[in-house]
A and B are shown apart, each in its own frame.
Chain A
Amino acid sequence: MDEKIENKHSTGSVDTELARELNLFHLTMMGLGMMIGAGVFLGIGNAIFHAGPGGVVLTFSLNGLIALFTAMSYAELSSAIPKAGGAMHFARMGFGNGTGFIAGWMEWFASSIAGSMYSITFSIYTLRYFELLGLLEWVPFDFYILEKIVAVVVALFFIYINYRGASETGNIGAVMTLGQTIFMLLIGLAGIVVAVKDPGRLANFKPFLPKGWSALLVTMGFTYVAFEGYEVIAQAGDEAIDPRKNLPKAMIYSVVIVTFTYMAVSFAAVVAVKHGSVGTEQAVWEWIGSFKEKGFGEAVSRLIPFGNLLLTIAVIFASTSALNATIFSATRASFGLGREGMLPGIFAKVSKKTHTPWGALLLTGVIIIGVAVFLPTMDVASSASIMFLFLFFLVNICVIRIRWNLGEELTYGYIMPLFPLFPILAILSQGVLAVWLHHMSILAWIIAPLWIGAGFVLYFSYSKKRAKPQEHDLLVIDESAAPEGDEYRVMIPVANTDNALHLAVTTTLLCRRKKSRIKILHMLQVKGSIPLTNADEYLSEGKKSIIEAAEYLKPLFPITTTVRYCRNVARGIISTVIEKKVNLLIMGWHGKIKSSLFSMGSILDPVIAKAPCDIVILKDECKNKQFHRVLVPLFGSSNDALAMETAELLLFHEEGQLMLLNLYGKRKREDYSRNLFSRIVKNRSVEYSELPPEFSDSVEAILAASQGCDLAVVGIEGSSLFRMGRKTLTETIAAELRIPFALVKSSGRVEEWAKRIL
């Protein structure tokens, strides 16, 4: 019972609840079940026909490699964002609501149509075997109608199984998949045994690629549908036990198992038949290929006893477990959209009795049965493949964007090596396969854009207005006024009443020369377990600190006050800076370095690295002090001007001495500091004093020069984000400096532009 963690989520008027019951074995089998569907049984014969005996093995091995690249992207994202909705949530976090909706929309359709294909495959193979046994002679109507009826019945049965709950989904699916995987591996093993006993059968591989290397692209595109199982694993994020560990493992294991199984099985199919034993002098690969989708069955029936019967049973297992998995996947995709408010509320409804999303399941069932009955399934299945490939493009782009933008904030259970090499390789290779699919079905290239177009219409007419904010969004809970005009926009994030007044006083000094508008911000961090609707209970402390600062600043500047709800304070501040186009960010710092992982703290480090604006950070010791001699180390960087300007503004009554320490050496001209002083310092009563460095080491020089000064204003040099345990120059100075100090970072125009875009 300890492993059954309840996951509750409030969606306003609709409450949903899912129980965690799927372990690593269940998840891996779900992925395998989706992959070892009917596709491989139909695909091997066709692959041999198009690419020859060596080509079929190469096809499955290369497809497996490409699939593994995408599986690694899925694994990384699922470990960091383990929620029902899979690709939809990844796209939403990476690119926003619109792309997220389209991803979920494509996913729902693709999985549903695949379900239709599997139910019809089950029907065709079962009825054909019964027909072979002479058991269907009594049927009074068209065989085609009987196929449709059986397809509907089997679809209804598995819809009911899914309605019964996730545990049943996992257990029944796992047993079926295990059976078919073992059967496939036995076929592969039989092939190896036959080849060892009779090495002459290896001659069946000559010629290795009778139709050339380009034929591989045809077969890879056609059989790629057999590698799409990791999507269904991503969908189970809400129901997986220990999802950060089990989801990525299940994805990678399932792709690897299926790749080696396919390679073994396709090898076995080629060596199954001895040359000349089938009464023809045709090459073996030509003979197998001539049966196309039935070629695999013809070969295997000669490899093992009762081959036809066993193969029929295997196809039944394969199609039903794949049907089960696709129903699960399609339901969770539409449930995810419903839960986020992008589809009507019925999609988010969960049965109180079985804890399964009955609304999404019902509507998924309608599509599966409708398509199975009315549409040409193979063409629509091709369009499902194209949409799966579009989805995979998106996921591979998302993994890059999310790692770059949100990587510091997410909790990863897996990170891929050599990032971003593998997502880029996956994008390129799957692009080729998607284009190649048009050789197979023109209708697919009509249906897919139509469905996506319908998705866009639905999004802009319905979903956009109703989409609920995602967890990593910021929610403005209380805002007194929106910023306007072209003033110099200054933001001060206040943490508590202690630092609020201090920051307000400093802000007055720093902004007095400019026509400034001050934004006072309090970021309210709320843990994921607390419902959004209860967030206002935690507002009181934030409001007090805002009022404290606002009372001081209100007579001097136009101000706006904001309390923002967020999951991560650093990201909240950065997002507000971007959204409100802030020019200057003024923050306080307690001055303690608590972890070797951070230079100045888990909030300041990312803010310094990513906020696209000028930043001034004041150590708490600056509070209530008057400064007459201010040290400004000049590194010859873009921070020098801001450091000098800040130093001047912090001087008591704008009178005193600026002690400029030359640390730029020969990188700048000799009169650099004098010119900078003349250009930046407005008050002519401020004295200029230049200090030659007494030590070659910057830190020692600053420490020596700081004696006799009452404040230091130091530029932040270098990034602290990738320090990997090494102390940065700024961190060393901050740790050793014995006088109050302020740190500044200037954001150049190009840098600011790049940060805002990226």
Chain B
Amino acid sequence: MDTFWGIVILISVVVIIAALTLYSRNIINIISEKKYTNLREIKYNRSHGRKNRE
């Protein structure tokens, strides 16, 4: 049972780390490319980003 839960935790940790890393990398690139200047702009563009890109 320990082995089962251990492997489940290991896989979960790997997935979470990968997801957070990819998200972080993307948001850094987007902020850097768009030259946003503050949190308001970042939040605004994040919520409207898809629409704007289309």
Contacts and interface: CB of A to CB of B under 8 A. Distances in A.
A414 B39 contact: no
Main secondary structure of the interface of B (DSSP, over half): helix
B9 A62 contact: yes
A397 B48 CA distance: 29
Contacts of A416: 24
B31 A208 contact: no
Interface string A742-757: 0000000000000000
B24 A248 contact: yes
A75 interface: yes
Contacts of B14: 61
A248 B20 CA distance: 13
A249 interface: yes
Interface residues of A, number: 45
Contacts of A54: 2-3, 6
B31 A412 contact: yes
A740 interface: no
A420 to B, nearest CB: 14
A633 interface: no
Interface string A718-758: 00011011000000000000000000000000000000000
Given A72-B20, A249-B25, A414 B31 contact: yes
B25 to A, nearest CB: 7
Interface stretch (A232-240, A402-410, A475-483): A402-410
- Most A-side CB within 10 Å, residue of B16, B37, B38: B38
A417 interface: yes
A597 interface: yes
A398 to B, nearest CB: 16
A207 B2 contact: yes
Contacts, number: 99
Interface in B1-44: 2-3, 6, 9-10, 13-14, 16-17, 20-21, 23-25, 27-29, 31-32, 36-44
- Most A-side CB within 10 Å, residue of B2, B36, B42, B48: B2
Contact of A58 (B9, B23, B36, B38): B9
Nearest to A416: B24
A653 to B, nearest CB: 43
A65 interface: yes
Contact of B48 (A256, A408, A725): A725
Contacts of B6: 54, 58, 208-209
B38 A64 contact: no
Given A61-B10, A597-B44, A724-B44, A414 B17 contact: no
19 contacts: A54-B3, A64-B13, A68-B21, A205-B3, A208-B6, A252-B24, A263-B10, A403-B39, A408-B40, A409-B38, A410-B38, A411-B38, A413-B32, A415-B31, A415-B42, A722-B43, A724-B44, A724-B47, A725-B48
Interface of A: 54, 57-58, 61-62, 64-65, 68, 72, 75, 79, 205-209, 213, 242, 244-245, 248-249, 252-253, 256, 259, 263, 403, 407-417, 597-598, 721-722, 724-725
5 A-B pairs with least C-beta separation = A208-B3, A407-B39, A245-B32, A209-B2, A61-B13
Given A58-B10, A414-B24, 12 more contacts: A57-B10, A65-B16, A68-B21, A207-B2, A208-B6, A245-B32, A249-B28, A259-B17, A407-B38, A409-B38, A597-B44, A724-B43
